[in-house]
Amino acid sequence: MNRLGKILLVEDDHRDVELTMLALRECRLVNEVVEVNDGSDALDFLFCRGAFEDRDPENPAVVLLDLKMPKVGGLQVLKEIRESQDLKRIPIVILTSSRQETDLIRSYDLGVNAYVVKPVEFGEFMEAVKQLGIFWAIINEPPPRG
Amino acid sequence: MQEELEDYREGLERLVRERTAQLEEANRELEAFSYSVSHDLRAPLRHINGFVSLLQRHSSGFDKESQRYVEIISSSTSRMGRTELMKKRIDVDLLVKRVIAEISEPEDSSKIAWNLERLPEVEADSGMLRLVFVNLISNAMKYSRKRPDPEIWIAHERKDGEDVFSVKDNGVGFDMSYKGRLFGVFQRLHRQDEFEGVGIGLANVRRIIMRHGGKVWAEGEAGKGATFYFSLPSQESERKHE
């Protein structure tokens, strides 16, 4: 079982943040959800630097990662995570509007653990996020602490 | 002489290769364009859909009219977002009458003479089939608008295991030599100031009908009107294949 690690939500669109947070709240996860709004903040959080220098250094149980973001995009974040000795095993789920083949290929090449296209219909969107939350925060066995 | 022919042939082959490359490039650009359009539409659509659904959770406090507005927004956004076919039995007769009522302005309905045959039930995606009729009927209205006596016929025929529907008008028509371009994306046979439009309506009609396993075609004559046909495999013939 999971040790109730954090869920890191990386999403620049505040409307998507609100809908995603709502879905995660509705599945009553006890895991803390940390929200950052662009790729560079995500990297600061993961590498415990900048505004996140003093955070509890445990890696999140899963990162829900948007692709199209200003400054540092999702693929770049994914790449840096996979290149880091300390972070490379963190489960990463791409949560995006893009079904573009190049995005899918790049993501899988970079070692993503799941790729989910945000459903347009509200009920389906909520259901998808809830399933992701429950699976990665509760059912999935995380990598052992380094 | 032999050499000249050889040169000529090589020149032609090069030309074909160049043209093919240009066409492929244009096709890729078009795909990228339609992809980005649909991508750009999907995010705002998801937000409208999401927040309207949240609003509906509070709708018990709304008066009847506000509840109705919220329901309309909600059903319209889900109609836009759907891409997979959801087939069910549809009363085409009712569908067509609703479409006509929906798209005609008060001044049209008195002017246009409608000839509607009794239309059957079919198995199809109702939202998509509705789009097909919206496109064909509004085209018929648009291109017959300048006539003093516009007339539109909507008919059905069962033929070789297919339901064939047709929408005919007595409008400006088209030259049959252009019939291959009618259903292409961004193809327009008329100038923007003659008849408005961006040229994707019939391309959508074709895509929708093809996804249903049917065909589209058209007949027309410049100045004498046009008839647009589409076929859907009828239920009897579909059952035989199962």
Tens of pLDDT, residue by residue over A81-138, are: 999 999 999 999 999 988 878 889 999 999 999 999 998 888 889 999 999 999 998 8
By percentage, how much of chain A surpasses pLDDT 90? Answer: 73
Residue A62, class by beta-carbon neighbours within 10 Å (0-12 exposed, 13-18 middle, 19+ buried)? buried
Tell me what ipTM this predicted complex has: 0.81
- The predicted structure's pLDDT at residue B242: 40
Domain extent for A39 = 7-137
A69 within 8 A of A13, measured Cβ to Cβ = no
What DSSP letter does each residue of A79-129 carry, written as one string? HHHHH-TTTTTS-EEEEES---HHHHHHHHHTT-SEEEEPPSSHHHHHHHH
A11 within 8 A of A37, measured Cβ to Cβ = yes
The confidence band for A1, taking pLDDT boundaries of 50, 70 and 90, is very low
- The predicted structure's pLDDT at residue B22: 80
Compare A79 and B42 and report the one with higher pLDDT: A79
What is the average pLDDT score of chain A? Answer: 91
Q: How many domains does chain A have?
A: 1
Residue A89 lies in a domain: yes
Separation between Cα atoms, residue A78 and residue A112, nearest integer Å: 7
Which of B46, B203, B48, B207 shows the shortest CA–CA distance to A98?
Answer: B46
Separation between Cα atoms, residue B214 and residue B165, nearest integer Å: 11
| Residues 78 through 137 of chain A touching chain B, CB cutoff 8 Å | 97-98, 100, 118-123, 125
CB contact under 8 A, B53 and A13: no
| Chain A residues touching B52 at Cβ < 8 A | 122
Residue A13 lies in a domain: yes
Residue A71 lies in a domain: yes
User: Could you say which of B35, B43, B46 has the minimum Cβ distance to residue A100?
Assistant: B35
Structure tokens of B36?
A: 């980005």
Which of B94, B212, B222 shows the shortest CA–CA distance to B230?
Answer: B212
pLDDT at residue A29 is higher than 80: yes
pLDDT digits (tens, 9 = 90+) for A15-25: 999 999 999 99
Going through chain B in order, the beta strands assigned E by DSSP cover 87-91, 113-116, 121-125, 151-159, 162-169, 216-221, 225-233
- The predicted structure's pLDDT at residue B198: 53
Residue A28 lies in a domain: yes
Residue A144 lies in a domain: no
Structure tokens of A53?
A: 């220098």
Q: Which amino acid is at A144?
A: P
CB contact under 8 A, A120 and B47: no
Residue A145 lies in a domain: no
Residue A80 lies in a domain: yes
Residue B151, class by beta-carbon neighbours within 10 Å (0-12 exposed, 13-18 middle, 19+ buried)? middle
If chain B, 242 residues long, is cut into consecutive pieces of 10 residues, what is the mean pLDDT of each piece?
87 87 75 66 87 87 88 78 76 94 77 93 90 90 89 94 95 82 67 62 84 90 92 68 43
Kindly report the CATH number assigned to the domain that includes residue A49.
Answer: 3.40.50.2300
User: Could you say which of A13, A22, A121 has the minimum Cβ distance to residue B43?
Assistant: A13
- The predicted structure's pLDDT at residue A36: 96
